[in-house]
Amino acid sequence: MEEFRTRIDIIDESMLNLFLERMQVSKQIAKYKKAHNLPVFDADREKEVIRKNVENIDNLELKDLYEEFVVKMMELSKKYQERIIKE
């Protein structure tokens, strides 16, 4: 069990680093959108991101959960962008 927990800890650390990197890019996107008076939400782009990410999942047992993960990740990115734009 300890080995599994150690592996999860390593994965969580990697995911944290990727999350921080993604949010940094989202911040840059928010600054661009603010400067060009663009909306945070782009339905076409969101559909594209979901499609291209989910289509790469071969594991049917996890496909719906990964889609939920991607959607939540984008919700957090939009939330952060809205915060940046309001500054």
For residue 20, the number of C-alpha atoms closer than 13 Å in the C-beta half-sphere is 6
d(CA 86, CA 42): 18
Tens digits of residue pLDDT in 21-70: 999 999 999 999 999 999 999 999 999 999 999 998 999 899 999 999 99
pLDDT of residue 56: 84
Q: pLDDT band at residue 87, thresholds of 50, 70 and 90? A: confident
Fold of 2-86: Chorismate Mutase Domain, subunit A (1.20.59)
d(CA 7, CA 86): 39
Start-to-end CA span in the chain (Å): 46
Lookup: tokens for 78 = 């939009």
The model's pTM is 0.88
